Chains A and B, each alone.
Chain A
């Protein structure tokens, strides 16, 4: 999947977006709220604008869940297996990962650089009857407040940040001792240019053109070394690959396009 949480683009200028930590929530006008509601519909419509993300979501959710279940030794067959643990979703977008993680029992925080994403996510969480702490904030802000989380997710977001090393060290610092971090992004290869950029944006039209800047894609070695430099132990790197003939996503060993890194912080 070519990083479809495009609204998380921290570097993309967007007129409708309030800046990080701008006054959110209560001050939005009714017409703005209606706009957010319409956007929430589109974020969460499995056949809508984010269809590829919805198709991709079960595979990455199962992958994340399996790692977390084995890391924290929680049985997956029980309801809310992760209760008592905290999770931070960086670049939460409309909440497509944050909501499922909340249902699995985590006490969740979702942050996004775009105010409108946070509004959309809040609205949808309320409709889903879920309690999620959504904030329009940069990870640095959480860090300066001394916040730490058992799990930090940075899925399909690394390719949008301006300073990868700074981002990785901030995200790593937010992981509590004994905690775990998962980061997914796009590799910088010829194949990812053809499939992840040209294929996803121009041929399949999964993503709006200009969603990604291929030069900002991050190689697995860069991501791993950034995490190691921040005191994390990299446990696994896996590819997430799309088979256009079966129209199916799967976890593979092909790191050429989309991949995910699992890293833990020593206890």
Chain B
């Protein structure tokens, strides 16, 4: 550097968070709740953008939001999932859960993406102790032996013990740190859009397995729902390019009257299905969180819950290390996070892929077998419950924030 910067230009923090999505915001709140000083580089994405799609928060993740004092604000805009039905192809055999299967709690809640960010942005704007939001982007990163330094577009620098990257499936931070991924091509793309319908959905969620991929409808507030329609790439491209009237007709046919008359459809968004997992969850002075670490096939639909689990585990590992005075960015400490989360992530990745391969085809004997399986699972309560737990919850030790405890 040719000029001497004043110390005002260097923001010092324990943790630097990079990312603009909901998970980056939750991560900041979780770390700050443990007394860590956090710098969020970039701030959360503009919340006025209606980017479509919902985040599904399962009952297992709810304690995290309650513990961070975010739940009341989120619940005001959330829609509970009370009834969950899985249908295979054109057959009438299906798996049906209603909330009585899990006690009287809903399975989970859906909230529009941008509304979650809205709540988080409002929280961050309250300028909680130890939280700095820097509206600039990263120019360059230097992962050193003693800490990580970022140079930002506004000329400032951030110096932190560790960087937590929650910057999405194509995480520039992960790429920059030279951490590769193991992933594969599914040939599938998901079309996401919001719909309005005439009949009340009564908290009804629906997953229809079709040869091209799963067709998922999640309830939203009011007479609205979120559709995630997975098809082979070319079919998905056609769906994306259709005139609105034509798309509505296709959607009506696919919904088969489930939600009554379809009245409106929002903008469509295409998301290629690329299951992948990072080769390492941590690097020198770096931890990967959420989709930067894992992107499982959306067929089991708890990507956001997986990310919440990452947040809770990382915040706990760092908080515990900080409270015995250790340097929280030491490799030994970050490895604890990796050992905690990566095995669960691999299990999820593999289960989701197996589910997808089993259902995204039209091979008759296989269909017969899986339909029989679904029907059997539906009849055998313990199996049904175990499957539900895999889909709505997790295996392994539960982080304190997810057990409803504070850090």
**Interface residue ranges, A against B (CB under 8 Å):** 41, 46-47, 54, 57-58, 61-62, 65, 76-79, 99-104, 127-129
**Candidates A46, A65, A79; contact of B324 at CB < 8 Å:** A65
Interface: B325 (CB within 8 A): yes
Task: Give Cα distance in the complex from A77 to B35, angstroms.
Answer: 7
List the one stretch of B66-74, B184-192, B266-274, B327-335 in contact with chain A.
B327-335
Task: Give Cα distance in the complex from A49 to B325, angstroms.
Answer: 22
Number of cross-chain contacts by CB at 8 Å: 47
Q: Judging by beta carbons under 8 Å apart, are A61 and B332 in contact?
A: no
Q: Judging by beta carbons under 8 Å apart, are A103 and B325 in contact?
A: yes
Q: Judging by beta carbons under 8 Å apart, are A79 and B326 in contact?
A: no
Task: Give Cα distance in the complex from A206 to B206, angstroms.
Answer: 58
What residues of chain B lie closer than 8 Å to A104, measured between beta carbons?
A: 323-325
**Candidates A41, A61, A78; contact of B326 at CB < 8 Å:** A61
Q: How far is the CB of B24 from chain A (nearest CB, A)?
A: 22
Q: A46-B330, A127-B146, A128-B146 are in contact. Are A102 and B35 (CB under 8 A)?
A: no
Number of interface residues of B (CB under 8 A): 17
Task: Give Cα distance in the complex from A54 to B327, angstroms.
Answer: 12
B76-112 interface code vs A (CB 8 A; 1 in, 0 out):
0000000000000000000000000000000000000
**Candidates A54, A77, A101, A129; contact of B325 at CB < 8 Å:** A101
Task: Give Cα distance in the complex from A64 to B332, angstroms.
Answer: 20
**Candidates B323, B331, B407; contact of A46 at CB < 8 Å:** B331
What residues of chain B lie closer than 8 Å to A65, measured between beta carbons?
A: 323-325
Residue of B nearest to A78 (CB): B35
**Interface residue ranges, B against A (CB under 8 Å):** 34-35, 37, 130, 145-146, 321-327, 330-332, 407
Residue of A nearest to B407 (CB): A77
Task: Give Cα distance in the complex from A104 to B322, angstroms.
Answer: 8
Q: How far is the CB of B204 from chain A (nearest CB, A)?
A: 43
SS class of chain A's interface: helix, strand, loop or mixed? helix
Task: Give Cα distance in the complex from A41 to B145, angstroms.
Answer: 9
Q: List 15 A-B contacts (CB under 8 A).
A: A58-B326, A65-B323, A65-B324, A76-B323, A78-B35, A79-B130, A99-B325, A99-B327, A100-B325, A101-B325, A103-B322, A104-B325, A127-B145, A127-B146, A128-B146
Residue of A nearest to B325 (CB): A100
Q: Judging by beta carbons under 8 Å apart, are B325 and A128 in contact?
A: no
What residues of chain B lie closer than 8 Å to A77, measured between beta carbons?
A: 34-35, 323, 407
Q: Judging by beta carbons under 8 Å apart, are A62 and B327 in contact?
A: no
> What are the nearest 4 A-B pairs in CB distance?
A100-B325, A46-B332, A61-B324, A103-B325
Q: Judging by beta carbons under 8 Å apart, are A100 and B324 in contact?
A: yes
Q: How far is the CB of B283 from chain A (nearest CB, A)?
A: 15
**Candidates B37, B146, B324, B407; contact of A58 at CB < 8 Å:** B324
Q: How far is the CB of B183 from chain A (nearest CB, A)?
A: 29
Task: Give Cα distance in the complex from A110 to B179, angstroms.
Answer: 39
Q: How far is the CB of B319 from chain A (nearest CB, A)?
A: 8
Residue of B nearest to A101 (CB): B325
Residue of A nearest to B321 (CB): A58
Q: How far is the CB of B224 from chain A (nearest CB, A)?
A: 42
What residues of chain A lie closer than 8 Å to B407, measured between beta carbons?
A: 77
What residues of chain B lie closer than 8 Å to A54, measured between beta carbons?
A: 332
Residue of A nearest to B332 (CB): A46
What residues of chain B lie closer than 8 Å to A57, measured between beta carbons?
A: 326
What residues of chain A lie closer than 8 Å to B146, measured between beta carbons?
A: 127-129
Q: How far is the CB of A98 from chain B (nearest CB, A)?
A: 10
What residues of chain A lie closer than 8 Å to B326, measured between beta carbons?
A: 57-58, 61, 100, 103
